[in-house]
Amino acid sequence: MTQHDLFAAPPSSLMSSGASSLHADSGDAGPARSFSAAERLDLLRLIRSENVGPVTVRRLLDRFGTARKALEALPTLARNGGRAKPIKICPATTAEKELMQAEALGARLLCLGESAYPALLAQVEDAPPCLYALGHAPLLARPCIGMVGARNASVAGKQFARKLALDLAAAGITVVSGLARGIDTAAHEGALYAATRNDPAAAGTAAVVAGGIDVIYPPENDRLYRQMVEQGVILSEMPPATVPQARHFPRRNRIISGASLGVVVVEASAKSGSLITARCAADQGREVFAVPGSPLEARSEGPNLLLRDGATLIRHAGDILEAITRHPPALGERGRPGFSGPAPALPPEQDLARARAEVVPCLTVTAVTVDEIIRQCQLSFAVVSMILLELELAGRLERHPGNRVSLLSAP
């Protein structure tokens, strides 16, 4: 990476016309509605209940129409899946306490299906049903680009990331990253600096954190965190005060990519978490961008691998703007899920019992696609989906990316 590459200016025509085109494409996000306080509480209780994950919430809402009816159905569904002991449902008092904690911090709860929820993220199958936002949530309505990379980034890599983020923010793009050391920090700093170079409205950056919305990690980013609250927005699907664990970071990564039109990897090793984010982006149908580097530099191995596998090479912000204006997502793919009402009635319990006897033997500890189960059993999607839902709530099923599932041992 040369000094010329670091400061190569993007074409001015792209920085202007590209941004206006992107904003025009983002205008219609599909049907949305407002959630009542009771609906918000029910949805939060649902996602905080035992064995209930983001995909499970979607399946439950598709089947029962509302979170309240889904909560009522959980005990029966878990029993049907073979669970002996009662499933733990999040009490209303626990959810109310969590909401009060978030409100005391100044955070807002964004619910899947309402207008304030990021439109692109809503299309991800495992999008968080409830997402806390602290700061300026309207930044999420802008076109977003994710930027990730090495925590032990080089000086040149951080310099490039700051300049790239600054130019993207100046073009009306919200830069999304993870508030980690290295490239993440540089990306947020560059986007925030755009406000001093242009105007306050240009400070477009969002940080998705792995822990609670109020947990600053790493601690040395305390000042940046507070600046993000003032000028950007911080996002988390976890309850307040949650200390981030290793398992939380891959979940954080799919939010960074899911909320974005594409993800840029600046520096990363071959086994970096940044490449997990890039894979999430590819699986979600997002653009994958990579900044090339010397084959002799370990921190360039990840981006170079992505380029070998078809990622778009990035020299400056103009390359990103050109790519996402040339291939914008179809508006129909960006509409929010409706959850307008319960699904059609299922067959009688006797028929469902026979279907369970066919579906369960198709499952092993090796993940298979749901489509393959449907083909083998010659059953409808609705029936197979319900049986898998019962098994998951019983703690016997694990979901994997790519609409795959595997069987776990009975609790």
The two structure tokens encoding residue 13: 């025509």
pLDDT (tens digit, 9 = 90+) per residue, 299-338? Answer: 999 999 999 999 999 999 999 999 988 866 543 344 445 4
Distance CA(170)–CA(183), nearest Å, equals 19
Q: How confident is the model at residue 29 (pLDDT cuts 50, 70, 90)?
A: very low
334 DSSP β-pair partners: none
For residues 24 and 46, the model is more confident at 46
Q: Is the pLDDT of residue 342 over 70?
A: no
pTM for this predicted structure:
0.88
Q: Is the pLDDT of residue 26 over 60?
A: no
In terms of Cα–Cα distance, which of 128, 68, 32, 58 is closest to 343?
58
The two structure tokens encoding residue 176: 């999304």
Q: Are 175 and 147 a contacting pair, CB within 8 Å? A: yes
pLDDT (tens digit, 9 = 90+) per residue, 71-122? Answer: 999 999 999 999 999 999 999 999 999 999 999 999 999 999 898 899 999 9
Rounded to an integer, the average pLDDT of 56-72 is: 93
Please give the domain boundaries of the chain with CATH numbers for all domains: 3-28+134-331 (3.40.50.450), 349-407 (1.10.10.10)
Of the chain, the percentage scoring pLDDT greater than 90 comes to: 75
Question: Would you state the pLDDT for residue 332?
Answer: 38
- 131, amino acid identity: L
Q: How confident is the model at residue 32 (pLDDT cuts 50, 70, 90)?
A: low
The set of residues, in sequence order, having a beta carbon less than 8 Å from that of 162 and lying 6+ positions away, is: 186, 187, 189, 190, 193
